[in-house]
Amino acid sequence: MQIVRVFAGDDGESHFEDVTPEEMVEIAKRLGEGDIQLNARQAPSFSDYHTAPRRQYVLHLLGTAEYETADGSKRQLVPG
């Protein structure tokens, strides 16, 4: 299972961090209750660099998505 965190570092820029399933369990315990939003995009699609409007957890159910952080690092995320 691929679990990747994108976060803003002390430098204010976005970075990737690999998260273990055990770490994700601890993160999930702190989520609390809230709304769930489902979103689908037609392929191919592109979203320019932007600051997320809120904390988001993304589960890829179908297809592949590529994310890029401020330093140019890229990750392809697949279902699972």
In the chain, where the domains are located: 4-77
The identity of residue 41, as a single letter, is R
CA 35, CA 37: separation in Å to the nearest integer? 7
CA 39, CA 64: separation in Å to the nearest integer? 14
CA 79, CA 72: separation in Å to the nearest integer? 23
Residues 26-42: tens digit of each pLDDT:
888 877 777 777 777 78
Q: For the purposes of burial, counting CB atoms within 10 Å of the CB of 41, is it exposed (0-12), middle (13-18) or buried (19 or more)?
A: exposed
Q: Decide which of 67 and 58 is more confident.
A: 67
Q: Are 66 and 74 within 8 A, CB to CB? A: yes
Q: What is the pTM of this model?
A: 0.70
Which residues make Cβ contacts (< 8 Å) with residue 66, sequence separation at least 6?
Answer: 74, 75, 76, 77
Residues 59-74: tens digit of each pLDDT:
778 888 888 998 899 9
